[in-house]
Amino acid sequence: MNEESHIILIPWDFTPVAECALQHGFKFAEKAKSKKIVLIHIIKNEKEHDEALGKLNQVVSDNQGKHGLKIEAVVRVGSIFTTIGEVASEVEAELVVMGTHGLKGMQKLTGSWALKVIVNSKVPFVVIQEPPNETDMRDIVFPVDFKRENKEMLNWVSYLHKHFNPKFHIIKPNTTDLGFIKKIKANIAFSRKFMDSKSIDYEIHTAEGKKSFPLEIMEFGKSINADLILILSTKNIGITDFVLGAQEQYVIANSSKIPVMVINPRDDLTKMDIVY
């Protein structure tokens, strides 16, 4: 995470949900003391560049200076599946705030498409479907399962604690698999130790185990009126996951329209690389 730049990247497709993403971006920027928001619009060929840049510059002009932020326009030929991640790395964005349109309909960014964009970036994504609430971020769902990569999410637990000071609701799956139980207990113990060391407010809940864990995460988030769900994407996700439906895409496109922060596992981090 780049402490100096604090740049937030927002993919812009000239739809109302992009406007919603910008409003969420303002909220994150205000709390995280970000310096700049970058709007990125992807085009198919260079012929579209000037017209697209003119339209995007108008969006920038309409919002320039709000919340004391500098706003910048970037138009790039490419694919939404790779170019957003590339630009996020180039500008050293701290996170990407992206609007999506759920799992139904003919819009450009459905749940599965959003996931394809997300997994091609080292930068976390906050995926939103609606404008932000007027209240501060108070309750965050933090699922912890058997995966070793769960520890990477603690970087962002700390980030969110630092800037929003919410309550984290840890939810763990209800399983009878002894191997999974052992790994889940280890991840819970590590998370508790880390969160206790930083005086982070949290509670631990166990899912009922009557439905799939992603579905129970979404239902739990709805039951506590959560402001954010924090999840980890599947490591080394492949085309089969997209065809069959990776579980994350259902959380991303949850019907309660709760914002979801998606962390991608990093091969260049170790469990001790906790930076906040």
Domain segments of the chain as ranges: 7-128, 139-229
Q: Which string of b and e fits 264-274 if b means at least 16 CB within 10 Å?
A: bbeeeeeeeeb
Residue 119 to residue 246: CA distance in whole angstroms: 12
Residue 63 pLDDT exceeds 70: yes
Q: How far apart are the first and last CA of the chain?
A: 9
130-166 pLDDT per residue, tens: 999 888 899 999 999 988 888 889 999 999 999 999 9
Of residues 265 and 24, the one with the higher pLDDT is 24
pLDDT at 108: 42
The angle that helices 154-164 and 16-32 make with each other, rounded to 10 degrees, is 80
CATH architecture for residues 139-229: 3-Layer(aba) Sandwich (3.40)
Residue 246 pLDDT exceeds 80: no
β 125-128/139-143 pair status? unpaired
SS3 string, the chain, reads: CCCCCCEEEEECCCCHHHHHHHHHHHHHHHHHCCCEEEEEEEECCHHHHHHHHHHHHHHHHHHCCHHHCEEEEEEEECCHHHHHHHHHHHCCEEEEEEECCCCCCCCCCCHHHHHHHHCCCCCCEEEECCCCCCCCCCEEEEECCCCHHHHHHHHHHHHHHHHHCCEEEEEECCCCCHHHHHHHHHHHHHHHHHHHHCCCCEEEEECCCCCCHHHHHHHHHHHCCCCEEEEECCCCCCHHHHHHCCHHHHHHCCCCCCCEEEECCCCCCCCCCCCC
pLDDT at 109: 45
Residue 8 pLDDT exceeds 50: yes
Q: Do domains 7-128 and 139-229 have the same CATH topology?
A: yes
pTM of the model: 0.87
pLDDT at 101: 63
170-218 pLDDT per residue, tens: 999 999 999 999 999 999 999 999 999 999 999 999 999 999 999 999 9
pLDDT at 233: 80
Residue 59 pLDDT exceeds 90: yes
Residue 81 to residue 130: CA distance in whole angstroms: 22
Amino acid 172 reads: K
Residue 276 pLDDT exceeds 90: no
Amino acid 253 reads: A
Q: Decide which of 3.40.50.300, 3.40.50.11750, 3.40.50.620, 3.40.109.10 is the CATH code for 7-128.
A: 3.40.50.620
